[in-house]
Chains A and B, each alone.
Chain A
Amino acid sequence: MTGPDWLTLSIMLPLFGAVAAFILPRAAAGLGLATVAATTLCVLMMADRVAAFGAVTVPLGGWGAPLGIELRADGLSVAMLALTGMVGLLVSVSAIDAFAGDRTARQRHYFWPLWLLLLSGLNGVYLGTDLFNLYVMIEIIALAAVGLTVLGGTREALRAGLDYVYASILGALLFLLGVGLIYLQLGRLDFAGVIAAPPSAAMTAALAVMFVGLALKTALFPLHVWLPAAHANAAAPASALLSGLVVKGALYIVLRLAGYMPALTEDILTLIGLMGAGAVIWGGIQALRADRLKLLVAWSTVAQIGLIFVALARAGERGLSDSWKAAALLILAHGIAKAAMFLAAGRIKDEVGHDRIRDLDRSPIRPTLAQVTFALAAINLIGLPPSLGFIGKWQLMEGAMMAGYWHWVAITMIGTLFSVAYFSRVLAGFLRFDRVRGGPLAEHHGWSGADAAPLILAGAAVLLGLAAGPIIAFIDLGAGGAMP
C-alpha cells in the first residue's frame, strides 16, 4: 500500500466531521457540507486507484485477515461509495436550504452529526470484509437512521421511528446470530474464509438467518411493514437519505453474500424471488392506494426493492454475472432516483403546503422545478430509456429471457406496469393546473439549492444510462477475488 490510505480516510473523515458538527452546532451545516465533499473526493481518489490497479486491500493494524480486519475496495464497493458520495453531497446541499431558519434550528443541529455518522457507517459497510465488523457498522447505520427518522419530533414520526428501531435491531441481531453460527463452523469471519468454506447444512442455516435479518433491514416483503411509515414521516432530506442510501447498505451485504452461497438450492432461490415478486405486487397496490405523495413514494421503494431481489434470485440461479450486474445497476439507479424523488416530493409539500395527491392539482402554487424533477425520477424508476433504471431492467429481462425464465420476465413487466400506473396518478395532476377557479396561478418561490440539487440528481440518473457500459465494466473491476 503506497500513498494515502483513502479507504480508512473515507470512513474516518465523516467521523471527525460528525464530532465537529456535534461540538459546534452553530457551524454544523458548513462543517457537514465540507466533510461530505472531502469524503467524496477521497472516494474519487480511491476510484482512480481501483481503475488503475484493480482491488485495493488495507490490512488494518497490519495483522491481516483472519486475525485482524481488512478493508477492501473493488469496483462494486467503489460504485456504492460513489453513489453514497454523489447522493449524499446533493442531499446535503438541499438540506442546508431545507433546515435554514430558526424554526428548524434544532433539526439542523442534529441532522448533521447523525448524517455524517450514517455516512461513516455506510462507507464502512461498503469497504468491510469482516462479518462481525459489518454487524457493528449496520448498528451505527441503524442508530443514525433512527435519529434521522424522528428528526421532526412529531408523534407519527416517533411511532414510525420506534417500529424502525425494533425492526432494525432485530435484523442486526439475526445477522449477529448468523455470525456466531459461522464462527462455530469456521473459526473465522473474514470473507475469504467464508468463500473457502465447504457447503454444509450449518453454513446454509447460518447464511439463511443472516439473510432474514438483512431482508428485515432492507424491508423485503413480507418484512417491509416498518418502512412506509418511517420513510413517509421523516423530513424530506432524511427521507431521501433513508430511501436512497440506508436500505442499500443491507442490500449490498446481501449482494456480496449472494456470491458466497454455494449451498443455495433452486427452491430457496425461488422463495427469494417470490418474496421479491410479492413486494413488487403488494408495493404496487399500496402505492396505487396511497393518499399522500410521500407515502406513495415510500411504497414504491418497497416495490423496487422487491424487483432488485428478483434480480438477485436470478443471479444465484445461473451464471451469476448478468443478473448480479443487473441487481447492482438497479441498486445504483434506485438510490439516485429515489433520493431525487423524495427531495422533490418534499419541495412540492413545502410549496403547496400539503401532499395529498387528490388535491395537488387544485393548488394555486406551481412548484414547476420540483415537478420536473419528480417526472425525471419517475422515468428512472419506471425504467424508460435511456435511464440507468432502464438499463438495469433490460439486463435483468435479457438474462431471464435467455435462460427461459419467463415468469421472472412477467414479474418485471407487471412491476413496470404498476409503476406507470401509480406515478401517473401524480404526473397526470402535474399537467392539469387549470382546476383552480378564479385568480391567477401563483408563481413558485424561485430557484434555490433545494430545487437544484434534486434536479441534478434526477437528470444524472437519466443520463448515466448512456454511460452504462463503462459503469458495468467498472463494477466488474477486482471482482475476481470476491466472486467465486
Chain B
Amino acid sequence: MSEPLFLFDLLLALAVVAIAAAALLVRDAFAMIVLFVVFGLLSALAWVRLAAPDVALAEAAIGTGLTGALLLKTLHHLRARGMAGWEPGAAAPRPVPRAVASLNAGLTLAVVAGLGVAILGSPLRVTGLEIAVAEAMPLSGVDNPVTAVLLNFRAYDTLMEVVVLLAAIIVVWQVERGADAAPAPSLGPIWQGFARLTLPAAAIVGVYLLWAGAEAPGGAFQGGAMLAAIGLMLLLTGLYRPHPDHRATARLLFVLGTVAFAAVALLVAGAGRASFEYPQGHAKTLILLIEGLVTISIAVTLTALFHGREPAALKGELRHDP
C-alpha cells in the first residue's frame, strides 16, 4: 500500500466520522441537511476506494441525493407551517437530563468498542462468495457480477426490495391523504429554463445507466434514481403538476415492477425448475425485461415519495376521521 493513498484513506475516514457527528450536533436544520449530503458523498467516495463503484453510485444518487431532497422538502414543509416542533429547544417537551445524555453516549461508546474488540480478536474472515459467483456467472445471463447477484442469484431479495418501496408509497399516501395542499416548493423561471435544457440529457443518462447495468456499473436502481431526479425537476419547476385524475395511472406504475417481477418468478417455474429459475438461454431477455419495468416503477415511486401527498383527493374523501 503506497503512502499517499494510505494518508488519503485515513483523512477521508476521519472526515466521514467527523462530519457524521457534526451533522447531528449542528444547531441549524438547513446546515444539518447540507452536512448530511457532504457526509453521504464522502461515504460514496470511500466506497469507491473500497472497489465498490456500483454501491457508491447508488449511495450518491439514492442514499444521499434523494434522501437529501426528501429532508429538504420536509424542512420546507415544517418551516412553512411555523417552527413549533422543529427547532431543538422548542421540539423537546422535556429536555434530556445531562446524566441520561452522557449515559447514552457512554453506552453507545461501550457497544461500539466492544464490537471492535470482538471483531479484531477473532480470526480474520475467510473468502466470501466471490468464487461461487464467478463460477455461476456464465449461466447468469449478464456480465456485471453485482447485477447478476441482484437480478439472478438473489432475485428474491430484489423483488422484496421493490415491495418495500411499494409499501412505502402506500404508507405515505395513506398518512398524507386528506392533508390540505401544502405550498409546494418550486424553482424560479431561470431554473425552469435550465431544467428544460438538462432534462433530455438526464433522461438519456438514465436509460444508458440501465442498459450499462448489464455490463458495467449501473443498473435498475441507479437508472431509476436518475429518472426520478428528472421527475423531481418536473415537479419543482411546475412542468408537471400531479392531478387527481392521474392517480389510477400512478397506482398502476407503482405496482408494475412488483407484478412483472413476481409474475416472471412464478411463471418460469415448472418442468424441474424452481421459482426465479430462468430457463436456459432466456436469462438475459428476462432480466432486461424485469429491469426495464422495475426501473419505471422505481422512478415513478421515488418521484411520488418526494411529492408525498396523494394528488388532491375528491371532496368527499378529504375529511379525516375524527
Contacts and interface: CB of A to CB of B under 8 A. Distances in A.
Interface of A: 1, 5, 8-9, 12, 15-16, 18-19, 22-23, 58-63, 66-69, 103-107, 110, 113-114, 117, 120, 124, 130, 132-133, 136-137, 139-140, 143-144, 146-147, 150-154, 158, 181, 183-188, 200-205, 209
B277 interface: yes
B125 A106 contact: no
A102 to B, nearest CB: 8
Interface string B305-322: 000000000000100111
B171 A143 contact: yes
19 contacts: A22-B166, A23-B251, A61-B152, A61-B155, A62-B273, A63-B136, A67-B132, A68-B153, A105-B317, A106-B177, A106-B178, A113-B170, A140-B164, A147-B170, A152-B321, A153-B175, A154-B322, A187-B126, A187-B128
A67 B133 contact: yes
Given A12-B266, A61-B154, 15 more contacts: A15-B258, A18-B166, A22-B166, A22-B251, A62-B273, A62-B276, A67-B153, A68-B154, A69-B157, A106-B321, A110-B170, A114-B171, A114-B174, A136-B160, A153-B321
B259 A187 contact: no
A8 B265 contact: yes
Nearest to A178: B115
Interface in B30-88: none
A185 B122 contact: yes
B129 A143 contact: no
Contacts of B202: none
Nearest to A203: B122
Contacts of A18: 166
B70 to A, nearest CB: 14
A64 to B, nearest CB: 9
A106 B318 CA distance: 9
| Size class of the B contact interface (CB-based, 8 Å) | 35 or more
Interface in B109-125: 111, 114-115, 117-119, 121-123, 125
B262 interface: yes
A105 B314 CA distance: 13
Contact of B259 (A16, A136, A137): A16
B233 to A, nearest CB: 27
A8 B157 CA distance: 13
| Chain B residues touching A, majority SS | helix
B156 interface: yes
B123 A184 contact: no
A58 B275 contact: yes
Contacts of B207: none
By Cβ-Cβ distance, the 5 closest A-B pairs, closest first, are A202-B122, A205-B118, A62-B277, A187-B128, A61-B276
B4 to A, nearest CB: 28
Interface in B231-250: 248
- Residue among B111, B157, B251 with the highest chain A CB neighbour number at 10 A: B157
Given A60-B155, A202-B119, A120 B129 contact: no
A185 B269 CA distance: 34
Contact of B129 (A62, A67, A105, A150): A67
Interface in B156-170: 156-157, 160-161, 163-164, 166-168, 170
Nearest to A183: B128
A258 to B, nearest CB: 20
Contact of B114 (A9, A140, A205): A205
Nearest to A1: B274
B17 to A, nearest CB: 16
- Residue among A61, A188, A205 with the highest chain B CB neighbour number at 10 A: A61
A68 B173 CA distance: 34
A178 B124 CA distance: 16
Given A117-B170, A133-B160, A69 B154 contact: yes
B155 A144 contact: no
| Chain A residues touching B, majority SS | helix
A205 B258 contact: no
Nearest to B259: A19
B266 A117 contact: no
A151 B111 CA distance: 36
A5 B248 CA distance: 33
Contacts of A203: 122
Contacts of B122: 185, 200-203
B227 interface: no
A205 B114 CA distance: 8
Contact of A136 (B118, B152, B161): B161
Nearest to B155: A61
Nearest to B159: A15
B274 A59 contact: yes
B141 to A, nearest CB: 11
B255 interface: yes
A114 B171 CA distance: 8
B251 A133 contact: no
B262 A15 contact: yes
Given A8-B269, A202-B121, A147 B167 contact: yes
A76 B121 CA distance: 36
Contacts of B317: 105-106
A137 B114 CA distance: 28
Contact of B156 (A1, A16, A22, A133): A133
Contacts of B161: 136
Contacts of B114: 205
Contacts of B258: 15, 19
B127 interface: yes
B129 A188 contact: yes
Nearest to A202: B122
A143 B321 contact: no
B26 interface: no
B252 interface: yes
Contacts of B167: 114, 117, 140, 143-144, 147
A45 to B, nearest CB: 16
B160 A137 contact: yes
Given A143-B164, A202-B119, A188 B128 contact: yes
